[in-house]
Amino acid sequence: MLTGMQIAIIGGDARQLEIIRKLTELDAKLSLIGFEQLDHAFTGAQKEKLSEADFSEMDALILPVSGTSLEGQVETIFSNEQVILTEACLAKTPEACTIYTGITNPYLTGITKQAKRRLVQLFERDDVAIYNSIPTVEGTIMMAIQHTDITIHGSKVAVLGLGRTGMSVARAFAALGAKVKVGARRSEHLARVTEMALEPFHLSDIEKELRDVDIVINTVPHQIVSASVISKMAVHTLIIDLASKPGGTDFRYAEKRGIKALLAPGLPGIVAPKTAGQILANVLTQLLQADLKNRKGKAI
């Protein structure tokens, strides 16, 4: 149970609804900031504006998966009002307050350091990333079907990066009958690709390896599908970029060449918000319960 904990949930999409539902069931007291257009009411949860919330009472702040923008703006699907998280807001919280986010950026990392508050990135955890790769894969398959005129079975697919998402994507497309090659840099990743009975290639050879593929799926979070790479790709190639914004593709040049390139971060929240929200809710529950237990231990 989370009885006695005061938590602010600031912005987010439909995934946050599962988090709210789970935390209220565990008797936490919630302040919902950026949810004034949400029709559903939750017992133990109160809608508030950022300026109205009493941050001095908060044990934890829960941000959307995307965290904040580089200007501090928090995504608010259920509100038309702009919500800006500042260092001044964090400074009002108790020293033991923890900020939970999916991912971070220099702005969010900076203000939490300035306020001397603990920042937890949920997507840095292997369990969250692996569970989250399931709806990501399903969304990627959906996009591949919607934006091509060929079957996945028999198509030539290149997956860039063999992290937690890349591995799941490569395995799923291979299971659907695609001819999958995987680009990576680390020798152990190339070995793993071979073990998976897929075709490995080193990312230094990316220009050559992407010349004759039908679908490119990128998971590398820096620009790897450059103009030089795109200039040598077939015009019919579909690029699906799963990396966090701004992605790893030169979208301007892809458009100039007439190659369809789609930036698709946050797919779980689009294709399966309930499941994606439950994944986050379960992990957050474990972390918050451990935090509460730790505080009670210190109090004794």
In the chain, how many domains are there? 2
On whether the CB atoms of residues 169 and 136 are closer than 8 A, the answer is yes
Instruction: Give me the domain span that covers residue 253.
Output: 127-265
Sequence-distant contacts of 248-255: CB under 8 A, at least 24 apart:
248/160, 248/218, 248/219, 248/220, 248/221, 248/222, 248/223, 248/224, 249/218, 249/223, 249/224, 249/225, 250/223, 250/225, 250/226, 253/226, 253/227, 254/225, 254/230
As a whole number of angstroms, the distance between CA 240 and CA 247 comes to 10
Average pLDDT, rounded, for the chain: 94
Please check whether residue 46 lies inside any domain of the structure. yes
> Are both 163 and 69 inside the same structural domain?
no
Contact 242, 261 (CB under 8 A): no
Q: For the segment 260-295, what is each residue's pLDDT rounded down to a tens digit?
A: 999 998 889 889 999 999 999 999 999 999 988 877
pLDDT score, position 299 = 56
Cis bond before residue 265 (omega within 30° of 0): no
Residue 37 pLDDT level (bands cut at 50, 70, 90)? very high
Q: Are 181 and 209 in contact (CB under 8 A)?
A: yes
Q: Quick one: pLDDT at residue 74? A: 96
Q: pLDDT, tens digit, for every residue of 120-142? A: 999 999 999 999 999 999 999 99
Does residue 79 sit in the same domain as residue 149? Answer: no
- The structure's pTM equals 0.86
Calculate mean pLDDT across residues 85-110: 95
Average pLDDT over residues 14-43: 93
pLDDT at 300 over 60: no
| Cα-based angle 136, 71, 105 (whole degrees, multiple of 5) | 45
Indicate whether 84 pLDDT > 90. Answer: yes
Do 295 and 250 sit in the same domain of this protein?
Answer: no
Mark whether 245 and 136 lie in a shared domain.
yes
Whether residue 1 lies inside any domain: the answer is no
Mind listing the pLDDT tens digit for each residue in 129-185? 999 999 999 999 999 999 999 999 999 999 999 999 999 999 999 999 999 999 999
Say if residue 99 is in the same domain as residue 160: no
- Is the Cβ–Cβ distance between 182 and 206 less than 8 Å? no
Assess whether 258 and 289 both reside in one domain: no
Specify if 148 maps to a domain: yes
Helices 15-25, 273-299: inter-axial angle, 10-degree rounding: 40
pLDDT digits (tens, 9 = 90+) for 67-79: 999 999 999 999 9
Residues 91 and 160 in one domain: no
Here the CATH number for the domain that contains residue 98 is 3.40.50.720
74 and 173 fall within a common domain? no
Regarding whether 224 and 159 lie in a shared domain, the answer is yes
